[in-house]
Chain A
């Protein structure tokens, strides 16, 4: 697909590189982001990659929308094939339902399943991280079965506790910090996803493979931070 451009206000431009979430589009997204950051045009402030878009923040006092758009078009023609994509596998333990997952019942009912079936399907998916966004270290994870898909809530909750695991549409993810949000909440992980003291403050990165593993409430409380996070 040919890239399409649209303004994201007067200080950013959204570059859309596909019309659905797929591997090819994600590769393009990562390549354009990397290329922009390595070239560091004078007008560049920062880059926010997402599923199918790269949003490029720029200083309109240095370059206007038209100039930035033309320069990005030129960069797009230079996107080569030679990009190394790392892939790690991270296990995320989750305690499902109960007070940790108040919407597990809703997700089950919405799909004519039992909560048990929702958990079994959620833990058996082949997941990868599409992007980090919305909140610090928040992973948008692809690969969830459509059998447990559920729409966002009509109005976002004002407070969702940190490390809550949720579903929105065909996507699943986990809230790293307490934040408002519209996802259906199905469980909670004891693992910290946001680590502000680290140079890269997010545990997960785009491209990571994810395994969700069910744990009991007791195991959840007994969980000690760190050891199981990155050794799978």
Chain B
């Protein structure tokens, strides 16, 4: 069990999100950085779809009431176990009564804590993700707070064996961490309404830097930069949006729609972030900036296919390592 001694800024139970209910307006939810979440799960020998804790900027304080395996992937929020700095992007053996704390967010904004067996909460509409705004799903529909007791599901035999080997050194390997840049280049496909924008907007979206504003959250990243506008103001007919849709409301400041995005929207979409670059956005903090670079649909799909192959390779090499647990 995980005893929450401090909740942190926003720590919530998330998995890969809710699918099939968007037609009822039920948002997808799920992790902001699917790549880090999946690797954290794989590192401890979990199915990548299991629930993890998504930790944002100011981390929680968590006491483990039993021996377990964990992994932290994503941003480096200065994690410490019983006061000693620990590494991200690797599996760790945790002893009963150890306490996990976090410090300054050094690189990135979100870190995923996977626990052997996965975080155990009731499924709602096929997912364990917390839908914060509706107050449903995950752990009591909210971010974790002091006093919460979070359970993990049963471990596999292999995970139990790993625990019993009890030799830290042989687990001392890690997967290549993702580099989160101070000013990342985000690849973007032109949006459905791209051609409706005026010439300067069409140019500036790919040439100027945009800054992440303070109103950014799990729903969307609001950006500030050159003012974007349509050639001729038009009221659009609402239609579906997606993770990474870049909408431009009338105030001219683009919004990148993220995990807690609405299902549909009526603002023009100037672009759509390539799926492989979504984790880079999820790791941005307020005040950081980014630049967009055009990518074709075919290339974006190719990169996504390559990323899936890459994850499969990492998974295979992790499994090979885990053979040693036997």
Residues of chain A having any CB pair with chain B under 8 Å: 6-12, 14, 20-21, 33, 45-53, 55, 57, 60-61, 64-65, 131-138, 140, 151-152, 154-156, 158, 168-169, 176-180, 182, 194, 196, 200-202
- Assuming A60-B301, A133-B263, A133-B264, is B238 touching A48 (CB within 8 A)? no
A11–B251 CB distance below 8 A: no
Which residues from chain B contact A169 at a C-beta distance below 8 Å? Answer: 235
A10–B25 CB distance below 8 A: no
Residues of chain B having any CB pair with chain A under 8 Å: 19-27, 124-125, 133-134, 136-137, 189, 192, 215, 219, 235, 237-245, 249-251, 253, 262-267, 272-275, 297-298, 300-301, 304-305, 308
A61–B242 CB distance below 8 A: no
Which residues from chain B contact A156 at a C-beta distance below 8 Å? Answer: 249
8 extra A-B contacts, CB within 8 A, seeds A7-B192, A9-B243, A52-B239: A8-B192, A8-B272, A48-B22, A57-B242, A61-B308, A136-B26, A155-B251, A196-B134
B24–A50 CB distance below 8 A: no
B240–A12 CB distance below 8 A: yes
B24–A200 CB distance below 8 A: yes
Which residues from chain A contact B243 at a C-beta distance below 8 Å? Answer: 9
From B133, B136, B189, B301, A196 is in contact (CB under 8 Å) with: B136
Bound Cα distance from A201 to B134, whole angstroms? 12
From B125, B192, B264, B265, A131 is in contact (CB under 8 Å) with: B264
Which residues from chain B contact A154 at a C-beta distance below 8 Å? Answer: 249-251
B237–A21 CB distance below 8 A: yes
What's the least CB distance linking A199 to chain B, in Å? 9
Which residues from chain B contact A11 at a C-beta distance below 8 Å? Answer: 242, 275, 304
From B137, B249, B305, A60 is in contact (CB under 8 Å) with: B305
